[in-house]
Structure 1
């Protein structure tokens, strides 16, 4: 039952393009008690079908810049090779710390962006 909920939650977030894999890794390590390496590799398998569905929907709705997607995908393959090799040779505890730092940086960036947008909105309203 936990696996079903994890799939639905991660799939829904993945479908929006907001990092369902990040949530999946977190849920797999916390709820299923998988080691970080296993959770990250499991995420890669999860990513294939969920991405295909999201890609089809977004192409149909003309939401993808295909030129940009092609360029970043080519270089993303190189990055994936590097990242997979780094991950395999990195201690599980360190990998988990890096993942936590990555999430914290994203959270801080989002908080900063929200505060900045709120300030701009208030300035416009006061004019």
Structure 2
């Protein structure tokens, strides 16, 4: 039941475009006690169907700029290859801390955006 709830909320977040991994990876590590490298691989595999469904919905709503997709996808593939090789040389503990710092930075940007967006709309 725990994994179903984690997957459900990760799917919601992923469908909104924020990336389900921001929920899935920490939840698997903290609540299910799974090693960070395994949690990352579970995230990557589970993101495939979630991403395809979200992509179809966003394409139907015309929310996809195809000129951006190709360069981002190509460089994303290269980054994924590099990152997966790099993860083999980093301990799970270091990987956990790096991902935690990354989440803090992303969270900080989201909080800043939440406070600054209302200011832009008032002008």
Instruction: Tell me which interval the TM-score lies in, with the shorter structure as reference length.
Output: over 0.9
Match of 1:110 in 2: 110
Tell me how many residue pairs correspond in the alignment.
123
Whichever of the two has the greater Rg, that structure is 1
- Give runs of ≥4 in structure 1 deviating > 4 Å: 118-122
Match of 1:55 in 2: 55
TM-score, with structure 2 as normaliser: 0.92
Q: Distance in 1 between matches of 2:22 and 2:120?
A: 30
Q: Does 1:26 align with 2:19?
A: no
Gaps of 5+ in 2: none
For residues 63-119 of structure 1, the C-alpha deviation after alignment (integer angstroms, 9 at most, x for no partner) is 101110111101110000011111121111100000010011111112222233344
For residues 22-67 of structure 1, the C-alpha deviation after alignment (integer angstroms, 9 at most, x for no partner) is 2100111111110111100110101111001111111111110111
Gaps of 5+ in 1: none
Q: Distance in 1 between matches of 2:32 and 2:109?
A: 29
CA drift at 1:12? 1.0
